[in-house]
Amino acid sequence: MTAVHHPSLADLTTTAVGGPVNTYVRAETEEEIVAAVRAADQTGERLLVVGGGSNLLAGDAGFDGTVVHIASQGIQVDHASDCAGTLLTVAAGHSWDDVVAWTVENERVGIESLSGIPGTTGATPVQNVGAYGQEVSQTIARVSVYDREAGRRTSFAFADLHFAYRDSYLKRTTVDGSPRFVVLAVHFQFTHGELSKPVRYAQLAQHLGIELNQRAPLADVRQAVLDLRAGKGMVLAPQDRDTYSTGSFFTNPIVSDDVIDSLVPANAPRFPVVDASGEPVQGSTKLSAAWLIDNAGFGKGFGLPGSRNERLGIDGADVAGGRASLSTKHTLALSNRGEARAEDMASLARVVRDGVHQVFGVELVPEPVLVGLSL
Ligand SMILES: Cc1cc2nc3c(=O)[nH]c(=O)nc-3n(C[C@H](O)[C@H](O)[C@H](O)COP(=O)(O)OP(=O)(O)OC[C@H]3O[C@@H](n4cnc5c(N)ncnc54)[C@H](O)[C@@H]3O)c2cc1C
């Protein structure tokens, strides 16, 4: 366990904004994570848990407590048989995309569409990460945690995690990046096979040249997802400013079927809402936040010098001096163009959120965890 003083939250997060931290502890084993969290709790210091920092937007004033950086590593097969499948335990700090790559190479089915999502495995159950028709909850059997309130280790079975769209009990008990439950390891259950789960995302099926709900070889699905994501600036790339982001900045809003037609025109994309096991939920529909942003007049690159929202009469460069903009590849990502501060990112987020509300009456809700910052 290494304690270093005064690194910056900008160094620890993919948006590369955020001020200094008081105490920084890099924890490389479960024991080190528990010890670091206990030590911070005993002194009464505020605690911020950081994995890959890819879903965190931290304020310019920084963090006056302890940041515990989760860096534990390891993938372990607990059980493997053709009828029960594979039970896999992954340490919280292990790179998520390495886990996906492992499952594809070893013919374990269920997370191939979650390829290319940055960050750590321990963070995936927190917001129930999802993409291209899959959610991580569909393969999680159990999550091992340290309960800060009780001061002991425990574990949650799938049903007790109350997974929902970009949400879980773990997220609902996290305040300002300070979780009650610190994830130590995630336990997955996978079936075996060479083919993917049925592909439920039209653009992905089209890219693979298959019909919706058909299966494709695991490696093909992974590659297709990586290709699609790269085209949208949704895979981290140091040379690409569009990727200095938190990925999608707003969740796709879920609206009641009773009011949907009064909010958006018939041609607005609509997606079914599914529960934690992938079953459709009746009575409400998910809208595309990217479409709402675009159709409220905020095009790709809005915020850069020369960009303008004609519909609402806003010059992009007036929002944050050109330092923060929508990605030039995707309207849903807010990016740091090089010199942005957290307040620049927040100004852009506010203008986009308020503009969408003005045009469509739909409230966009931020997806990343905001620390020391509010919109
Ligand atoms: C380019 C890009 C693309 C993205 N694409 C997607 C996508 O397709 N789908 C998607 O769902 N997300 C996406 N994201 C968001 C992000 O990558 C995921 O949410 C990821 O799981 C966050 O992992 P992390 O380790 O970086 O978490 P952090 O950003 O470090 O933390 C996020 C939150 O989880 C908490 N946390 C982290 N680790 C632990 C732990 N061990 N125990 C308890 N709490 C913890 C933190 O305190 C914080 O509240 C994208 C982000 C980027 C930058």
Which residue's alpha carbon is nearest to atom 49 within ligand 1? 177
Least confident of 220-224, 282-286, 296-300: 282-286
Average pLDDT of span 43-51: 94
Atom of ligand 1 nearest to the CA of 14: 53
Do 65 and 86 share a structural domain? no
pLDDT of residue 273: 87
Spatial separation of the C-alpha atoms in residues 367 and 249, rounded to whole Å: 5
Do 215 and 95 share a structural domain? yes
Number of domains in the chain: 3
Would you say residue 149 lies in a domain?
yes
Instruction: Summarize pLDDT for 237-294 with one digit per residue, the tens.
Output: 999 999 999 999 999 999 999 999 999 999 999 988 877 666 788 999 999 999 999 9
User: Which of 166, 241, 337, 341 is labelled catalytic?
Assistant: 166
Spatial separation of the C-alpha atoms in residues 203 and 178, rounded to whole Å: 36
Instruction: Summarize pLDDT for 183-199 with one digit per residue, the tens.
Output: 999 999 999 999 999 99
CB-ligand 1 contact for 120 (6 Å cutoff) = yes
Q: Which range marks the domain in which residue 168 is found?
A: 75-229
Q: Among the three residues 13, 43, 70, which one is the final residue of a domain in this structure?
A: 70
Would you say residue 170 lies in a domain?
yes
- CATH number, position 132: 3.30.465.10
CB-ligand 1 contact for 228 (6 Å cutoff) = no
Do 80 and 65 share a structural domain? no
Rounded percentage of the chain residues whose pLDDT exceeds 70? 98
Would you say residue 235 lies in a domain?
no
pLDDT of residue 7: 82
Atom of ligand 1 nearest to the CA of 129: 11
- CATH number, position 257: 3.90.78.10
Do 86 and 163 share a structural domain? yes
| Pair 275, 296: CB distance under 8 Å | no
pLDDT at 160 over 60: yes
CB-ligand 1 contact for 131 (6 Å cutoff) = yes
- The β-bridge relationship of strands 181-192 and 108-109 is antiparallel
Mean pLDDT of the chain: 95
CB-ligand 1 contact for 67 (6 Å cutoff) = no
CA–centroid distance, 117 to ligand 1, in Å, is 8
Do 79 and 56 share a structural domain? no
pLDDT of residue 306: 97
| Pair 122, 51: CB distance under 8 Å | yes
Whether 337 sits among the annotated catalytic residues: the reply is no
Do 299 and 190 share a structural domain? no
Whether 135 sits among the annotated catalytic residues: the reply is no
- CA 29 from chain center: how many Å? 23
CA–centroid distance, 120 to ligand 1, in Å, is 7
Atom of ligand 1 nearest to the CA of 245: 53
In the block, tokens 């305040």 appear at 175
Do 84 and 62 share a structural domain? no
pLDDT of residue 84: 84
CB-ligand 1 contact for 130 (6 Å cutoff) = yes
CA–centroid distance, 172 to ligand 1, in Å, is 15
Q: Among the three residues 229, 251, 270, which one is the final residue of a domain in this structure?
A: 229
Would you say residue 236 lies in a domain?
no
From first CA to last CA, the distance across the chain in angstroms is 35
CA–centroid distance, 54 to ligand 1, in Å, is 5
CB-ligand 1 contact for 234 (6 Å cutoff) = yes
Counts of helices then strands in the chain (DSSP H, E): 10, 23
Do 214 and 81 share a structural domain? yes
Task: Report residue 58's pLDDT band, with 50, 70 and 90 as the boundaries.
Answer: very high
| Pair 364, 250: CB distance under 8 Å | yes
CA–centroid distance, 273 to ligand 1, in Å, is 22
Whether 229 sits among the annotated catalytic residues: the reply is no
- CA 12 from chain center: how many Å? 15
pLDDT at 18 over 90: yes
Instruction: Summarize pLDDT for 326-367 with one digit per residue, the tens.
Output: 999 999 999 999 999 999 999 999 999 999 999 999 999 999
**Other Cβ atoms closer than 10 A to 23:** 21
Which residue's alpha carbon is nearest to atom 14 within ligand 1? 247
Q: Among the three residues 175, 200, 229, which one is the final residue of a domain in this structure?
A: 229
CA–centroid distance, 125 to ligand 1, in Å, is 9
Would you say residue 318 lies in a domain?
yes
CB-ligand 1 contact for 325 (6 Å cutoff) = no
pLDDT at 82 over 90: no
Task: Report residue 59's pLDDT band, with 50, 70 and 90 as the boundaries.
Answer: very high
- CATH number, position 35: 3.30.43.10
Spatial separation of the C-alpha atoms in residues 344 and 324, rounded to whole Å: 6
CB-ligand 1 contact for 243 (6 Å cutoff) = yes
Give me the amino acid identity at 71: A
Would you say residue 234 lies in a domain?
no
Spatial separation of the C-alpha atoms in residues 274 and 230, rounded to whole Å: 26
Do 257 and 127 share a structural domain? no
Task: Report residue 1's pLDDT band, with 50, 70 and 90 as the boundaries.
Answer: low
For residue 196, give every residue at least 6 positions away whose Cβ sits within 8 Å of its Cβ, in sequence order, or none.
109, 112, 113, 215, 216, 217, 218, 221
Instruction: Summarize pLDDT for 84-123 with one digit per residue, the tens.
Output: 899 999 999 999 999 999 999 999 999 999 999 999 999 9
**Other Cβ atoms closer than 10 A to 250:** 23
CB-ligand 1 contact for 119 (6 Å cutoff) = yes
| Pair 34, 146: CB distance under 8 Å | yes
